[in-house]
Amino acid sequence: MEHLFYSTGQAARELGITQARVRDLCRSGAIQAEMTDGGQFRIPREVLDKLKREGAPTPPRPMPTGGQTVTVIPAPSRRGHPALLAEPSEDVIDSAEEVVCMENELKSLGLRRQKEEQLDWFRERENRDAERATKRREAEQRRQEELAEERRHQNWKTEWLQYGLNQVPYEAPQSVQLDVHEAVVQALDRLAPSHPASVVQQLVGAAVDRALTPWRAAKQIADAIKDACESWDVPWDMRHDSTWNARMYQAAGAAVGRLRNGATLNEAKVAASEAVAAVVQAFEHGSACAEMVKNVWMKVSGGTSEEWEQGKDAVRAALAQLPIGASKREIEKARDSALEPIRNTVAARQDREMRDGMLQWVELRCTIRRLSHEAQQRALTEIREAFNQLPIGTAKATLDRTIDVAIDRHYGIQEQHEREKREAARREAEQQQKRRDAEFKANQHIGHIQKYLEKEYEFDGGSAELRREAERLREPVREGLIAELLKAPNMEASQIREFIEELADEHL
């Protein structure tokens, strides 16, 4: 069988040590090696295999001599032994040689034993160091794997949590999102990333549905109440009256709240609709009564406003005695009975009919003249006061002239106010336009500040200080220039620059 050898470089790579250490081990004899003709060490394969199993020893070091020369005592010569009186015989020589060989062999064995013990100690220490290093690497690897696993688990949990929150309807309040978040977290705590995605999706969806159930039930009830309150059976003006609208919702909510636990959605709809129907009936009864009260003046023709108010109060009191749901005929009969005394009073005052009839047309005449509501009210009040001051029996022409004078006067006042408003608006617009023109001119020439400062002033800080001073002066000079342009809008460019220079000098 052919023997194979390794160079020191190959042995160093196989053992994971430096090539210099391999050469030191070869020189010291700690590694069995052979020398080539070129003076290179060659290590047998079986020796290298043993070193790979047991580990490379540490090269031995020479004994310290403190700088003194160590005297080596030569071994005694094989010939001329001093203990012999004559030349030794061949047997004696062989025996002595055998003794010397045995002594050398024993010394060699002792040295080898010491060497092996030292090598074992070094190998054991290196093995312990390697074992500790391996344990540290394994612990660090386990820690990194645990951190990676924790991050993967957190990412997995975050993705499914976001998936659950995405299932929340956009119209749901934020409190519902908190409930969904808590439900999904509890579901994910019982799961792991190793579970199939389809299973996790089903369980997360179930948790979301369970968290949304109370809100959905409340929303269905609210929708049922809303549908009942906004149905076509509810009058338009009732739906748009805040007071009656609130009464409808309160009645519907109270009716649904009185239902048994576990009532169906249909039962809630029926209860809400019945409650709203009762409120609608009350509204229609109240509207019919209010219409009767409102139209009292039609039944008391020729009556004064005071008599109309008395009639309204009487009709209102009479209608309040009727039950909700009374027919239109019953309402009209109660109204006529309440107005009978007032009608008799109006009939007894025929001399007031002409004035009252004329007063009824004052509002129309004011509208024709396009008087504002406030002007109409002031004109009507003035006409009534004028009528009360005129004696009974005043001619109709006089009353007409009184009405015309009042309307004309208030119309003239209104026209004067409108002209004044238009004039004030025009002046304000002119002033604003002058201001804009002045600002435009000022912005065009405000850059002259820096040029003037560069020409007339020197600053210790150089151009930077020059720019700062120009920027500091920019706004006050601009405002002063705008004020001057408002007074003299036709200033020439040269005059503007001179004024800028004056303002700059003042502020500096």
Give pLDDT tens digits for 145-182. Answer: 889 888 988 999 899 989 989 988 988 888 888 988 89
Q: pLDDT tens digit string along 229-252?
A: 888 888 888 888 888 889 889 998
Report the C-alpha gap between 272 and 262 in whole angstroms: 16
Dihedral of alpha carbons 400, 405, 408, 413, sign: negative
Which distant-in-sequence residues (6+ apart) come within 8 Å of 319 by Cβ? 289, 292, 293, 331, 334, 335
Closest CA to 183 of 155, 213, 156, 153: 213
Residue 42's H or E segment, with its range, is strand 41-44
HSE (side-chain half, CA atoms, 13 Å) at 162: 5
Residue 82 has pLDDT above 50, yes or no: no
User: Residue 315, class by beta-carbon neighbours within 10 Å (0-12 exposed, 13-18 middle, 19+ buried)?
Assistant: buried
Confidence (pLDDT) at 73 = 37
Q: What average pLDDT does this structure show over 295-311? A: 82
**0.75 surpassed by pTM:** no
Confidence (pLDDT) at 376 = 82
Q: Which of 90-104, 346-360, 395-409, 437-451 bottoms out in mean pLDDT, i.e. has the lowest?
A: 90-104
Which distant-in-sequence residues (6+ apart) come within 8 Å of 276 by Cβ? 228, 229, 231, 233, 234, 248, 251, 252
Closest CA to 478 of 468, 470, 490: 470
Residue 79 has pLDDT above 50, yes or no: no
User: Residue 88 — very low, low, confident or very high, per pLDDT cuts 50/70/90?
Assistant: low
Maximum alpha-carbon separation in the chain? 196
Q: pLDDT tens digit string along 244-286?
A: 889 889 998 898 888 887 778 888 888 889 888 989 988 888 8
Contacts within 8 Å (CB) and 24+ apart, 271-274: 272/224, 272/225, 272/227, 272/228, 272/229, 273/228, 273/231
HSE (side-chain half, CA atoms, 13 Å) at 429: 6
Report the C-alpha gap between 4 and 29 in whole angstroms: 19
Q: Amino acid letter at 183?
A: A
Confidence (pLDDT) at 162 = 92
Confidence (pLDDT) at 78 = 41
The percentage of the chain sitting over the pLDDT mark of 90, rounded to a whole number, equals 3
DSSP state of 60: P
Residue 84 has pLDDT above 80, yes or no: no
Distance in angstroms between the alpha carbons of the first and the last residue of the chain? 108
Report the C-alpha gap between 121 and 184 in whole angstroms: 61
> In this structure, are residues 188 and 157 in contact, taking their beta carbons and an 8 Å threshold?
yes
Report the C-alpha gap between 264 and 250 in whole angstroms: 20
Confidence (pLDDT) at 292 = 85
> In this structure, are residues 330 and 322 in contact, taking their beta carbons and an 8 Å threshold?
yes
The percentage of the chain sitting over the pLDDT mark of 70, rounded to a whole number, equals 91
Confidence (pLDDT) at 206 = 92
Q: DSSP 3-state helix, strand, coil percentages of the chain (rounded to 5)?
A: 75, 0, 25
Task: State the average pLDDT for the chain.
Answer: 82
Residue 356's H or E segment, with its range, is helix 353-360
Phi, psi (deg, nearest 5) at residue 426? -65, -45
Confidence (pLDDT) at 66 = 46
